[in-house]
Structure 1
Amino acid sequence: MKKQILFILILLFSILNAQQKEVKVAFLSDVHFQDLYGNFSDNDFKGIINPKTGKATILRTMESQLHSTRIFNENYFAFIVALDDIVSKNIKIVAMPGDFSDDGQAYNLRGLHKILEEYKCKYNMKFYLTTGNHDPVGPFRKDAGKDDFMGENGKPFGIYSKEMIGEKPSRIYTKDIAESGYLEILNELKDFGFYPQKDDLFWSTPFNKNLISSYSFDDALITADYTKRMYEVEKGFSVPDLSYVVEPIKDVWLLAIDGNTYIPKNLNENSSNPSNYKGASIGYNNVLTNKKHLIEWVKNITAEAKR
């Protein structure tokens, strides 16, 4: 992931003394999680059978990895090992600064949710995610698919969200391979930073003017709603911004900046057309011109943190 999507960790301690415990935060960036053992909600396909384990596995081909800046299949196991390493170090706060998925497909988001929930419940860990340029590829859900899944006898085949997409004649269809937008990501992963939790000491968004002195969980819950987190990237084109700030433990603030800036290609097009938005490839360059509210918010949060 090009690092236009960043987590800025602000560690602010008022008066430290020898009795205070050391605060540790683990960072897992660019996980690009893909659920090898996932399920599609509208198709019975579960992958090909691994001859050694007997488990059905949804794999990408090795060729797909050789022609990409990313790896796919191994990320599943690397993610689990990384989480176990964090557990062994007794770290309870985990920041995942962008590209936690690889194009935000619904089945991968569900798989990620399942794993995060398991570690949250079993080890009392807290996860704080922010979106990267692969977490939504665009602001709204878009039909899509991949040509390079592993089929029988090692032959590649396609998985697509609808007909008339992709190149492979050997194919299956599922809505769960579409590129999720912000709404779908928020609904699936809201318990991992994107929404306030009852034990958070403070939580806010760029669109909430309440300061920490007047903070309440119930008010924060209202402002976390998808409809409350929109801005005009161009006149008449409203898109989401999932940035937030949270205080998970006393005097530790996490500032999660959603630097994705999706600008419409055609100002005469329908504002809800997902194909009418440019990608977020130059990130913060477009923040400075089309997402100025974010810069002002960071200034305000910094001042509030210092206060």
Structure 2
Amino acid sequence: MKIAVIADPHFHDIDNRQGVGRGDRVAVRTLADTNASTRVFNESFHATRALLDDIVRRGISLVVIAGDLTDDGQQSTMAAATAVLADYSRRFGLRFVATPGNHDLYAIHGRHQSKRFLNADGSHMLVTSDPQMEQGGSVERIVSDDMYCGGYGAAIPALVDLGFFRRKSDLHWECPFGTDDRLEARSFEIVSADGQTVRRMIDASFLVEPVEGLWLLSIDANVFEPRNGDLDPTLEKSYHDSTDAGWNAMPRNKGFVLDWMKDVATRAEALGKRLVAFSHYPVIDPLNGTWADEAKLLNDTSFLRRTPRAEVSKAAAATGIKVHFSGHLHINDTAVFRDGDDWLVNIAVPSMVGFPPAYKVVEISGERLEVETAVVSDVPSYDTAFALYRVEAEREGTSAAVTEATGHADFLSRHLAEMVRHRYLPKEWPQDLAALVPQLCLGDLEILAATAAPLVPKDVPSLVASSPITGTTMLQDLPFFEMIVDWYRLRKGRELALGFIEPARIAVYRHLAARFAAGAWPTGSLQDRLASFMRMLSDWLASAPSRDFSVDLVTGEVMPRDHLGRTVRRQTGSA
């Protein structure tokens, strides 16, 4: 019994510029928007097909999609994405079972979307569903309903063939409300924090048995809680976005789903069914215990806001679902939560539009779940948009270095570096640290680690200027920025990142981490903050398994597998 689990395809149709028509102008998003995003846009068009082709080559017919099938839920994009899946179902017999992501729909009424598309001369036009949206720096503006992202009532019916409704071939189908699959029978009341505003919302969770003995539990962990006040229910701003809420909002707003999960798990065990649960959001801290260090280094980041709290993981583990697959964060990670006799394994699935490009192959064998991480580096036509990127960069006087990529995986690795430059450092790092980064090399970090007196960032330029680096090597001259990029590669890819980082660099990083670990500085000092940075890097290098492993479905033990697929027993605990 083998399943492919994919997450966050974020499919974008580069053949169709919404509102303009297919064929006359391609729909290539700008490089500027791409570099500032946590994902790439245009490359999803070919990457999705390469991913599905890899699944077909492996002879797998059952595919789980852990949310965010579409770019941003635009009506035309939704139609194009589901058409691709229908084509693979028709030609290769693939069966898709999905859960909705935060990019696939929004609350009940939906929300506007606006995107910038490149013209042949490097300028861009704005296509929007919002008549009030200003044109900005675009040379043209087009208003089109095709750009609108639907709510539950529009998006879930558009995903009709992905398990949200009963199929004749299903051996079993149910939802938290019973066996009626009509959307009007699957609504519930959701209340604002002050208790004054009540809305009817749809929950799209379901349980399906597509083949004998396998239960797939799709959990809709989107929570669109009304904001306080008597606001217009049709407006986006009237709801808290599910993007940051995730599982942290589930117990208070969707407790009935957790009750149903417990009932499903109990019945699955009694009936001898193999239960595989999935939702869009992680239900266990994906940072593997480095949360406190990240909070110390970076304060409040989107990643930290999206981290499930321990009490939420405890509530999910108490349901007895045992194994849960998630997407959303575009990372490769396996985490284990234990509370007495309760345990839960969360397997975070990477995306083909963020580093590293991969998915999970799951095989159920007796009392074991065998998991392989399949990297898809070869994407034909990965460089389709590169020519337009170069024209845009020349027009704007910016860099098109990402177009020097030698393949899809290399492009995503380079995109991550641009994301660090354009998004993470300026938007998530404290200003004093972000300003210091371009001034330092790894040799300077060695000096800081050897300085016993606590420092603040403004002390550093004069200190390193008066403390020349002895025995200078190429790696000691490596910019600190490059180490930060590798830090993010490890944060997102764990073991998979090692193929993109020179072993010599890893050795130097370990050395620097050891130097900072040996020191002791007051909390809040520069060295203390850098020690947190180094400690996280060390933890990610040591965390295993992240690629190929087995889950003991009786004990919850997670054990790595060697290159021959043999299980290597290790001590139980966080993975």
Q: Which amino acid aligns with 2:22?
A: K
Query: In structure 2, what is the Cα distance between the partners aligned to 1:173 and 1:70?
Result: 25
Largest Rg, 1 or 2: 2
RMSD: 1.7
Does 2:142 correspond to 1:172? yes
User: Percent identity at matched positions?
Assistant: 30
1:79 matched residue in structure 2: 48
Candidates 243, 251, 263, aligned match of 1:300: 263
Does 2:77 correspond to 1:108? yes
Task: After superposition, give the CA deviation of every residue in 1:140-162 in whole Å (9 maximum; x if it has no partner).
Answer: 2223312x221231112211113
- The answer to whether the 8 Å contact 1:145/1:166 transfers is no
Task: Give the length in aligned residue pairs.
Answer: 262
- The answer to whether the 8 Å contact 2:70/2:77 transfers is yes
Query: In structure 2, what is the Cα distance between the partners aligned to 1:39 and 1:197?
Result: 33
Q: Residues 298, 267 of structure 1: CA spacing in aligned structure 2 closer, same or farther, 3 A cutoff? A: farther
1:31 matched residue in structure 2: 9
Q: Which amino acid aligns with 1:230?
A: S
Candidates 217, 231, 241, aligned match of 2:203: 241
Does 2:199 correspond to 1:229? no
2:512 matched residue in structure 1: none
Q: Which has the higher contact order (CA 8 A, sep 6+)?
A: 1
- Partner of 1:71, secondary structure, is coil
1:288 matched residue in structure 2: 251
2:156 matched residue in structure 1: 186
For normalisation by structure 2, the TM-score amounts to: 0.44
- Partner of 1:247, secondary structure, is strand
> Structure 1 regions of 5+ residues with no counterpart?
1-22, 49-55, 209-219
1:269 matched residue in structure 2: 231
- The answer to whether the 8 Å contact 1:236/1:271 transfers is no
Q: Residues 164, 257 of structure 1: CA spacing in aligned structure 2 closer, same or farther, 3 A cutoff? A: same
Q: Which amino acid aligns with 2:255?
A: K
Q: Residues 65, 44 of structure 1: CA spacing in aligned structure 2 closer, same or farther, 3 A cutoff? A: closer
Query: In structure 1, what is the Cα distance between the partners aligned to 2:103 and 2:144?
Result: 20
Task: After superposition, give the CA deviation of every residue in 1:89-122 in whole Å (9 maximum; x if it has no partner).
Answer: 1100000001111220011110011111111111
Q: Which amino acid aligns with 1:36?
A: I
Task: After superposition, give the CA deviation of every residue in 1:203-245 in whole Å (9 maximum; x if it has no partner).
Answer: 111111xxxxxxxxxxx4xx21121111111162111111111
1:151 matched residue in structure 2: 119
Give the Å deviation of 1:268. 2.0
Task: After superposition, give the CA deviation of every residue in 1:33-69 in whole Å (9 maximum; x if it has no partner).
Answer: 11112364xx443376xxxxxxx42110111110000
Give the Å deviation of 1:273. 4.1
Q: Residues 230, 274 of structure 1: CA spacing in aligned structure 2 closer, same or farther, 3 A cutoff? A: farther
Q: Runs of 4+ in structure 1 displaced over 6 angstroms?
A: none
Query: In structure 1, what is the Cα distance between the partners aligned to 2:112 and 2:40?
Result: 23
- The answer to whether the 8 Å contact 1:37/1:46 transfers is yes
2:500 matched residue in structure 1: none
- The answer to whether the 8 Å contact 2:72/2:113 transfers is no
Query: In structure 2, what is the Cα distance between the partners aligned to 1:46 and 1:171?
Result: 17
